[in-house]
């Protein structure tokens, strides 16, 4: 039960809901004990020939009233206990999702999306059951059993009660043994479900690649493997349940058999009345549910513990990038950026990706970064956004080390267009206005889309800016996605703008229009442009050339051509490609 300590705050806040639910549950358990007594008295009167028509109506009315009381009480305990478990599900899912958003990018490099989805669905579902119906069954198992035994002893025969209950110790032993097996096998079930979810999610996300390479059969084969594994793990758990619950019922049936033989003999010998015998059987019948519930309690609780342990493992993850104790806000950002002797390597790498990076961008200037694929260009902007922390050196914005600035403040002051141009499955309006808490202003949206040269494309759609995009913006072309991403960054109107290879999918004519449009805003912004195209960066105030994580050349377009180095090689290669095409 230590696994549920994570939910201590929720239990403290909602303790009265659980307490009231348990009180109503105990009241119902107590009311249920009245039914055997009603039947006992009616039977005894019938046996003695004293049961009148009025007596039948009276005892029938008592049974109806107890049934009504049980129905009302059941309504309340379901609202208080089951309703609170639903609140717990909402609370835990919200807490998990919020926590995942605080984690650093490296966490998501080592944890698959499908696995995280399984945690947020199946695992939380099991926890809800454990702390909803699991609590109900536990209370029933304890209180109904104790109250029933007390009534059996007080109203019938002590020896008969002892004989009827001799099976309880066996049930407790079976419950303990099976509980460990259920816990282990359910954890395996959840892990198998995570693999199944991840494989399914990845296949659907990459469906266009699968179809274009005609690999449907291979993907189906891979899916069948994880599906078979999920099936087998569930089947193993079902086999345990298939033995566990019938075994509990079998032991309960043994008690009934003994009571009928021994109790019937006591009635024949006139040691107890027929009414006592009927009442006792009703009490024993009430005990069957707690016996069964005890098995279900172990089932639910062990499932809940296994799932809570998996959720706790995620909640225990700490973000690698956090605000320092005295982190400050950036106010009135001018946009000066400095990289001083920066060294960096990824957590999973032994070698430095960046080595001794030095440059300064004055407010309003544009820095361009070019280089071969994998040279470390994108890593530079990732460090500026503080998605990772550097090994050595320092990065400053307006003379302040970014480690001394609040993460939110850094990122709020940077408009970023990433390489993958991720768009959400919502309207174009919402995608462009993603940086805003409220609906984006119409004028801002139109202006930014015109600067990004995507306005004409958008108004050509039937629903214009209210056009809903498919997953990851699949309904748009590559160039349109890039331009909507640029519009989103421009609408944010941050003092620092980063374009990471953001014009690769547009033709040279559109690229020229976008760059000319950007000049009107980049004069007031500090801009970093990463590109493979020389035509994109040639007008930058300074260009740095990166190769294998080091700056090997720097200067303006003309001065770099005179160096006759890598920049000139890339430039001439692209000129040749344009002539050939």
Order of strands across the sheet that contains 414-417: 414-417, 496-500, 526-530, 366-371, 542-547, 550-555
Do 267 and 163 share a structural domain? yes
The answer to whether residues 97 and 237 belong to one domain is yes
E-strand ranges in 319-374 read 337-344, 354-361, 366-371
The closest of 536, 566, 562 to 548, measured between CA atoms, is: 566
By C-alpha distance, which of 473, 328, 471, 462 is closest to 404?
328
pLDDT, tens digit, 9 for 90 and up, residues 199-254:
877 777 667 667 666 677 778 888 888 889 888 888 888 888 788 777 777 777 77
Residue 235 CB neighbour total at 10 angstroms: 12
For residue 290, what are its two tokens? 């707690």
The strand order across the sheet containing 400-401 reads: 354-361, 337-344, 392-397, 400-401
Q: Same structural domain for residues 335 and 311?
A: no
Contact present, 303 and 125 (Cβ < 8 Å): no
Domain CATH number, residue 337: 3.40.50.300
User: How large is the angle between the packed helices 168-205 and 274-315, nearest 10 degrees?
Assistant: 40
Looking up residue 180, the CATH number of its domain turns out to be: 1.20.1560.10
* Residue located via tokens 């478990």: 85
Cα 389 to chain centroid distance, Å, stands at 26
Considering the domain architecture, whether residues 298 and 390 belong to the same structural domain is answered as no
User: ∠ CA(36), CA(39), CA(42), 5° rounding?
Assistant: 150
Q: Is residue 214 part of a domain?
A: yes
Q: What is the pLDDT of residues 3-33, one digit of tens each?
A: 778 888 888 888 899 889 888 888 887 887 7
Report the predicted TM-score, pTM, of the whole model to 2 decimal places: 0.73
Query: How long a stretch of residues is the chain?
Result: 581
- Considering the domain architecture, whether residues 275 and 385 belong to the same structural domain is answered as no
What count of Cα atoms within 13 Å lies in the side-chain half-sphere of residue 500? 19
Q: Which residues contact 478 (CB under 8 A, 6 or more apart)?
A: 421, 505
Residues 234, 192: one domain? yes
Single residue among 315, 349, 384 that ends a domain in this structure: 315
Which residue carries 């009934």 as its tokens? 256
Which of 282, 315, 348 is a domain's end point?
315
Expressed as residue numbers, the domain containing 212 is: 82-315
Yes or no: say if 36 and 151 are a contact pair by the CB < 8 Å rule: yes
Which pair of tokens denotes residue 501?
């290879």
Quick check: is 29 in a domain?
no
Work out the angle at residue 446's Cα, subtended by the Cα atoms of residues 441 and 449, and round it to the nearest 5 degrees. 125
- The rounded distance, in Å, linking the Cα atoms of 445 and 432 is 7
Q: How many domains does the chain have?
A: 2
Q: Which residues pair with 405 in a beta bridge?
A: 328
Quick one: CA dihedral 79, 81, 82, 88, positive or negative? positive
C-alpha span between 403 and 326 (Å, rounded): 10
Give start and end residues of each alpha helix (H) in 316-441: 377-384, 407-412, 428-432
DSSP-based three-state secondary structure for 53:
helix
Q: Answer yes or no: do 368 and 264 share one domain.
A: no
Question: What 3-state class would DSSP assign to 5?
Answer: helix
Structural domain includes residue 506: no
Shared domain check, 353 and 259: no
Digit-coded pLDDT (tens) for 338-383: 888 888 888 777 888 888 888 888 888 888 888 888 888 888 888 8
564 found inside a domain:
yes
The span from the CA of 513 to the CA of 457, in Å, is 14
Whether 156 and 297 share a structural domain: yes
Beta bridge partners of 344: 354
Q: Could you tell me if 496 and 414 are in contact, meaning their C-beta atoms sit under 8 angstroms apart?
A: yes
d(CA 219, CA 207): 10
Looking at the domain assignment, is residue 511 inside a domain? no
Last residue of a domain, one of 315, 339, 360: 315
In a domain? residue 337 = yes
DSSP class of residue 170 equals: H
Q: How confident is the prediction along the chain (581 residues), in pLDDT tens digits per residue?
A: 677 788 888 888 888 998 898 888 888 878 877 777 777 777 777 776 777 788 778 878 888 888 888 888 888 888 888 888 888 888 888 888 888 888 877 777 777 777 787 788 778 888 888 888 888 878 877 787 777 777 777 776 677 777 777 777 777 677 777 777 877 887 788 788 878 887 877 777 667 667 666 677 778 888 888 889 888 888 888 888 788 777 777 777 777 787 778 777 777 777 777 777 777 777 777 676 676 666 667 777 877 888 888 888 888 888 888 888 888 887 888 888 888 888 888 877 788 888 888 888 888 888 888 888 888 888 888 888 888 888 788 888 888 888 888 888 888 888 888 877 777 778 888 888 887 777 788 888 888 888 888 888 888 888 888 888 876 667 777 778 888 888 888 888 888 888 888 777 677 777 777 777 777 777 778 888 888 778 778 888 888 888 888 888 888 888 888 888 888 888 777 777 666 65
Q: Are residues 240 and 91 in the same domain?
A: yes
Q: Are 560 and 568 in contact (CB under 8 A)?
A: yes
Residue 373 lies inside a defined structural domain of this protein: yes
d(CA 499, CA 479): 14
Phi, psi of 206 (to 5 degrees): -105, 25
Please tell me the distance from the alpha carbon of residue 533 to that of residue 508, in angstroms, as a whole number: 10
**Cβ neighbour number for residue 556 with a 10 Å cutoff:** 15
| Residues 402 and 270 reside in one and the same domain | no
Residue 101 located in a structural domain: yes
Q: What is the DSSP letter of 440?
A: P
Q: Which helix (H) or strand (E) holds 177?
A: helix 168-205
What's the CA gap between 328 and 412, in Å, rounded? 13
247 and 373 both lie in a single domain: no
**Which distant-in-sequence residues (6+ apart) come within 8 Å of 430 by Cβ?**
424
């Amino acid at each position: 039960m230590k696994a549920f300590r994570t939910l201590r705050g929720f239990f403290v806040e909602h303790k009265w809901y659980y307490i009231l639910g348990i009180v109503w549950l105990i009241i119902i358990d107590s009311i249920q004990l009245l039914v055997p007594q009603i039947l006992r008295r009616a039977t005894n009167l019938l046996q003695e020939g004293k049961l009148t028509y009025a007596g039948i109506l009276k005892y029938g009315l008592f049974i109806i009233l107890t049934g009504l009381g049980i129905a009302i009480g059941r309504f309340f305990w379901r609202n208080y206990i089951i309703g609170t478990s639903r609140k717990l599900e909402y609370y835990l899912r919200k807490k998990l999702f919020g926590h995942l958003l605080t984690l650093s990018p490296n966490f998501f490099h080592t944890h698959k999306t499908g696995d995280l989805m399984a945690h947020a669905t199946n695992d939380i579902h099991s926890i809800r059951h454990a702390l909803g119906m699991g609590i109900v069954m536990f209370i029933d198992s304890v209180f109904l059993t104790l109250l029933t035994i007390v009534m059996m002893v007080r109203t019938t025969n002590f020896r008969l009660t002892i004989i009827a209950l001799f099976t309880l110790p066996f049930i407790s032993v079976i419950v303990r043994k099976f509980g460990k097996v259920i816990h282990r096998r359910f954890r395996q079930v959840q892990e198998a479900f995570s693999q199944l979810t991840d494989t399914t999610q990845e296949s659907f996300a990459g469906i266009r690649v699968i179809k274009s390479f005609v690999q449907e059969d291979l993907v189906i084969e891979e899916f069948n493997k994880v599906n078979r594994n999920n099936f087998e793990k569930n089947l193993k758990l079902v086999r345990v349940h298939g033995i566990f619950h019938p075994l509990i019922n079998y032991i309960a049936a043994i008690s009934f058999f003994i009571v009928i033989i021994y109790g019937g003999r006591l009635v024949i010998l006139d040691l107890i009345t027929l009414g006592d015998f009927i009442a006792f059987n009703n009490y024993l019948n009430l005990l069957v549910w707690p016996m069964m519930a005890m098995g279900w309690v172990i089932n639910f609780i062990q499932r809940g513990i296994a799932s809570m342990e998996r959720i706790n493992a995620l909640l225990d993850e700490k973000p690698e990038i956090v605000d320092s104790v005295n982190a400050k806000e950036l106010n009135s950002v001018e946009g000066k950026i400095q990289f001083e002797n920066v060294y960096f390597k990824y957590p999973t790498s032994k070698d430095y990706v960046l080595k001794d990076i030095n440059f300064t961008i004055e407010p309003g200037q544009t820095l361009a970064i070019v280089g071969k694929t994998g040279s470390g260009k994108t890593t530079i902007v990732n460090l500026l956004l503080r998605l990772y922390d550097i090994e050595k050196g320092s990065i400053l914005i307006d003379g302040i080390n970014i480690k001394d600035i609040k993460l939110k403040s850094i990122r709020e002051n940077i408009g970023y267009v990433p390489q993958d141009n991720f768009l959400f499955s919502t309207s174009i309006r919402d995608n462009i206005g993603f940086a805003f808490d409220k609906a984006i202003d119409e004028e801002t949206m139109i202006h930014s889309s015109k600067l990004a040269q995507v306005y004409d494309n958008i108004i050509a759609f039937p629903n214009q800016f209210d056009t809903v995009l498919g997953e990851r913006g699949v309904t748009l072309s590559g160039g349109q996605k890039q331009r909507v991403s640029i519009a989103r960054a421009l609408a944010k109107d941050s003092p620092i703008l980063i374009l990471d290879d953001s014009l690769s999918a547009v033709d040279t004519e559109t690229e020229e229009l976008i760059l000319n449009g950007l000049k009107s805003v980049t004069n007031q912004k500090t801009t970093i442009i990463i590109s493979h195209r020389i035509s994109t960066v040639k007008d930058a105030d300074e260009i740095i050339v990166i190769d294998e994580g080091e700056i090997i050349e720097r200067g303006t377009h003309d001065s770099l051509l005179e160096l006759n180095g890598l920049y000139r090689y890339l430039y001439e290669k692209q000129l040749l490609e344009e002539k050939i095409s």
